[in-house]
Amino acid sequence: MTIEINTKYGNIDVSREVVAVIAGGAAVDCYGIVGMASQKQLKDGITDLLGKENLARGVVIREENEEINIDMYIIVSYGTKISEIAYNVQQKVKYQLEQMLGLKVDTVNIFVSGVRVTN
């Protein structure tokens, strides 16, 4: 499945995997984020930290009525304010996707899958 972007020069098809990797990279770059968690493991009650090569597994891209909605599963650092981290991730992901791809993201939903103590 692809997301179609219409420009004055023609159409651009961008894979959902590409959008997910950009969103995951933007999220991990934020202060207080330890990493991404897989949404499939959330059902089992187990949250494993995903490596840089698996950032897209912690992101779900949904396209509904020409609107793009993103669900992100993150692991935050212990001792940080979770609401501020979630807000920063939402803003950064929206900004990065708008700047890199010209996508207008309707919502970025954050699911905190765990808290880790970092050294």
Percent of the chain with pLDDT over 70: 84
Backbone angles phi, psi at 116, to 5 degrees: -120, 145
> How high is the pLDDT of residue 94?
95
Question: Would you place residue 119 in the very low, low, confident or very high pLDDT band (cuts 50, 70, 90)?
Answer: low
65 pLDDT exceeds 60?
yes
- Model-wide pTM > 0.85: no
- Average pLDDT, integer, range 98-103: 89
Q: Where are the domains of the chain?
A: 2-116
Residue in the structure block whose two tokens are 């891209």: 61
Write down the CATH number for the domain with range 2-116.
3.30.70.1350
* Structure-block tokens of residue 65: 């009525």
> How high is the pLDDT of residue 49?
55
